[in-house]
Structure 1
Amino acid sequence: MPLSQIEIVHQDAALLVINKPTLLLSVPGRADDNKDCLVTRLQENGYPEALIVHRLDWETSGLIVLARDADSHRELSRQFHDRETEKAYTALCWGQPELDSGRIELPLRYDPPTKPRHVVDFEQGKHALTYWRVLERFERHCRVELTPITGRSHQLRVHMLSIGHPLLGDRLYANPEALAAHERLCLHASMLSLSHPHTGERLRFDCPAPF
């Protein structure tokens, strides 16, 4: 499996920062036809030591970090767990929010009857918090910056849907108009900041959205 279409944003002895393309899994899926993924491509093409630290959804593009040794993996995983990393996403959302920024604090859970969807659930859901900010307004949609404080599955997609502004091209959550407005899910991990696992130096990576 080739490394084509995968941009290495940064690499050193401890870590790799990759610009993951859309429609590529972060890790292998359970089915035999879902084995092609980012970590496998890296491991089979010059980075056999690559270890996944966190994930991006199949359709989400952008910045993702992998460790190159066990100690770095342990430290980077701890930073994500303890919310010492900073992440920002760029997205296109349907409609026009009344305000220019806000916060969404709604608990989320996986919904087996509609898998792989997630839903807001005030009784069984896990705490989830997202900040959003309008970057640019167009006739029928907006470009927004999304900052997740928690890291729940599908958090940004469900939170924006919950305030009436689903992401363009979202096959799981968008209404027909928002789905038809773009050929891909318009969600991109555009900023990632973390501390280097060996030196402690604070690093920041930026990757503009392709939409």
Structure 2
Amino acid sequence: MWEKYVLFIDGEAIVIDKPAGLAVHPGSRTRESLEDYLHHFRFGFQRTPLPVHRLDRDTSGCLLLARNPKAHKRFQRAFEDKKVSKTYVAVLDGVPETQAGIIDMPLGKVSSAEEGWRMIHDPRGRPSVSHWKMADVRDGRAVIVFSPETGRTHQIRVHASAGLGIPISGDPVYGAGRGPMLLHALSIRVERDGKPPVEATAPLPPTFVQAGFGDVRL
């Protein structure tokens, strides 16, 4: 049954379609995580594959796993050297005034006892850049394809809510939180020296279908 989550596999990499609602790593409030299931993705190897990057618990889609420690280090360097390209698709609770653009908004982390932690626009924070374009509009909600240059925590979510001024539908932290969060890691491409790239695209998840966006052309 675990094969159905696999989008790409070779001797050093696996890309899985992570379901929404499953955290990549355990935390104080999330006992269950992807780590509980990684042994199912050995597929004949003795080593358990390890995630190279993270997706938010409520974000579905492409997640890269490395099948050995050397590959894990190479893929981490690929992220650092900007040899990884990713796209995300999101449904917003409104429609931007323009069709496309670039959001250049550094982010910093804040925390309070009342609201917990979140990321905010902070001129002294870490550089964060996202390209975006509108793919469709339905019932007053826009479908946006984001192509981030950087990979900051909650980057797409904050760039939507604070950069575009319109939160992602269902976002419990930066939006109204009504319904599931409609954010999906659509594709990933990792360049490799002397080998074909690791490349995968994840189909739109059931939450998009149920919300009426399952047939959007991206």
Q: TM-score, normalised by structure 1?
A: 0.87
1:200 aligns with 2:201: no
Cα separation, partners in 2 of 1:4 and 1:11, compared to 1, 3 Å: closer
Counterpart secondary structure, 1:103: strand
Aligned equivalent of 1:135: 135
Aligned equivalent of 2:79: 80
Aligned equivalent of 2:148: 148
Amino acid at match of 2:121: V
Q: Which runs of 5+ in 1 are unaligned?
A: none
1:107 aligns with 2:106: yes
How far 1:49 moved relative to its partner? 2.1
Question: How large is the RMSD of aligned CA atoms in angstroms?
Answer: 1.9
CA contact (8 A) 1:90 1:189 kept: yes
Q: Which runs of 5+ in 2 are unaligned?
A: 209-218
How far 1:204 moved relative to its partner? 2.2
Amino acid at match of 2:31: K
How far 1:46 moved relative to its partner? 5.0
Q: What is the CA deviation profile of residues 37-56 of structure 1, one whole-angstrom value per residue up to 9, with x for unaligned ones?
A: 2133012x252421120000
Counterpart Cα distance in 2 of 1:36 and 1:46: 17
CA contact (8 A) 2:26 2:33 kept: yes
Counterpart Cα distance in 2 of 1:205 and 1:192: 6
How far 1:187 moved relative to its partner? 0.5
Q: Decide which of 12, 18, 21 is 2:19's aligned counterpart.
A: 21
Aligned equivalent of 2:57: 58
Counterpart secondary structure, 1:156: helix
Cα separation, partners in 2 of 1:203 and 1:46, compared to 1, 3 Å: closer
How far 1:6 moved relative to its partner? 6.5
Counterpart Cα distance in 2 of 1:174 and 1:156: 13
Counterpart Cα distance in 2 of 1:204 and 1:15: 10
Q: Sequence identity of aligned pairs in percent?
A: 30
CA contact (8 A) 1:100 1:133 kept: yes
CA contact (8 A) 1:39 1:50 kept: no
Aligned equivalent of 1:187: 183
Cα separation, partners in 2 of 1:169 and 1:4, compared to 1, 3 Å: farther
Amino acid at match of 2:182: C
Amino acid at match of 1:100: Q
Counterpart Cα distance in 1 of 2:116 and 2:80: 25
How far 1:196 moved relative to its partner? 4.2
CA contact (8 A) 2:38 2:50 kept: no
1:165 aligns with 2:166: yes
How far 1:190 moved relative to its partner? 0.4
Cα separation, partners in 2 of 1:65 and 1:27, compared to 1, 3 Å: same
